[in-house]
Amino acid sequence: MSRAAPVVLFGAFDRHNFGDLLFPHVLARMLAPREVRFAGLAARDLRRFGGHRIMPVGQIASGDSGIDLIHAGGELLTCDAWEAAVMLAPPERVQRLIAEEPGWKADPLAWSKEHLGIAARAPYVLAKATMPAPRTVFHAMGGAGLDRRDQAFQHEVIDKLKQADEVSVRDALTQTHLREHGIDAQLIPDPAVMVAELFGTLIRTRATTAPLQAIANAFPQGYAAIQFDTSFGDDATLDIIARELACVGKEYGIGIVLFRAGAAPWHDKLAIYARLKQRVAANTILFGSLNIWDICALLASSRVYAGSSLHGRIVAMAFARPRVNIAHREEVLQPPKQAAFAATWEPAEIAAKAYVEDLAAAISNALRADTALLHQTADDLARRYRAAFATSMS
């Protein structure tokens, strides 16, 4: 890769999602001192959340040819145009777009062109043939559920990946899927494993701000950082989660802090957390900040993380915190990316997931994790990422 050419980082950091907003920070720091630009499917300014000002991908296609294009991580190999459009939509348009799923299925390319300005089933996967970049890279991509997609979707993704100059993936399951289609992808940890090493000073400083200090003062014996997406928001599930968290609080004397790892549609909703808080009542705080550095500080200072977010898990891992992902028993509701990442990179002694009815036992088990093993895992993955990055970006 040319050391002189500017780099365009392309990804889903045009919406509020914890991991997606972290990726460009890590890549920009790792690529320094090269000039870096940030692009998505839509123009957005997410700097108030710790993100970036994002230019639309159309500006790349019509811009200068002297750039390197890097797809900057995320579960983008499985994201279709309808999902992308819904997650990028303002609140008042979300329900209308959700209702347009039949139209998307009837003519995916035309629907995508109309709503996103790009005719693609998988719009976050760009074809080198349509871009002015002489070098196109897919970096630490996720696609654990690619085999669940229809054949036309899979063929489009595979064809675009075969055009690329370099492909790396973040879990062994995605690597296996691609190998079955003749793509030999390098295995590399998710970029977020680097947050403690690259941004530890910034994150420790955020931990001293008033909102985070208030949490520390409220819970002198520590707290569990809890998060889950809207698929866990029905009353029956909330009743179970409340029961399990109450058990954890009583057994360990720790507080419960509910936070959002994403505010885009289908991610986390404050109203659902408020309903849970009514059920748990005592020793529970709703953490309102959506700034990614505040979220990192919350996780870094916690006793344990439990939630549905893969990057909640990875950031907790980077700071050697105990962690467990909350899962659905119904496989159709459970994206496999969390378990795929844990199976690829984390020791078997560190639990990957727990169903909601087993949450208290899983958190208790996580709190008993070997501290030395937690630190060793964090250090090892940061070291592996640096080595793999040097190889893939050479």
Report the CATH number that the domain containing residue 277 is assigned in CATH: 3.40.50.2000
Q: Is residue 46 located within the same domain as residue 147? A: yes
Q: Is residue 177 located within the same domain as residue 273? A: no
Question: Angle formed by the axes of helices 310-318 and 371-392, to 10°?
Answer: 110
Number of structural domains (the chain) is: 2
d(CA 61, CA 39): 11
pTM for the complete prediction? 0.95
- Percent of the chain exceeding pLDDT 90 equals 84
CA dihedral of residues 87, 71, 37, 298 (deg, nearest 10): 60
Over residues 65-89, the pLDDT tens digits come to 678 999 998 999 999 999 999 999 9
CA distances from 237 to 224, 268, 284, 324, 330 (A): 19, 15, 18, 17, 13
Q: What residues make up the domain containing 377?
A: 194-382
Among residues 188, 209, 239, the one where a domain terminates is 188
Using the structure block, give the residue that is written with the tokens 């915190």: 321
Q: Is residue 157 located within the same domain as residue 176? A: yes
Over residues 340-367, the pLDDT tens digits come to 999 999 998 888 889 999 999 999 999 9
Which residue stretches of 253-291 are H helix? 270-280
Is 98 a domain residue? Answer: no
Mean pLDDT of 26-46: 95
Q: Tell me if residue 392 falls in helix, strand or coil.
A: helix
Rounded to the nearest integer, the mean pLDDT of the chain is 93
Residue whose C-alpha is closest to residue 57's, from 11, 112, 6: 11
Is 88 a domain residue? Answer: no
The DSSP output letter for 17 is B
Q: Which tokens is 18 given?
A: 């914890």
The dihedral sign for the CA sequence 101, 105, 106, 108: positive
The per-residue pLDDT for 393 is 77
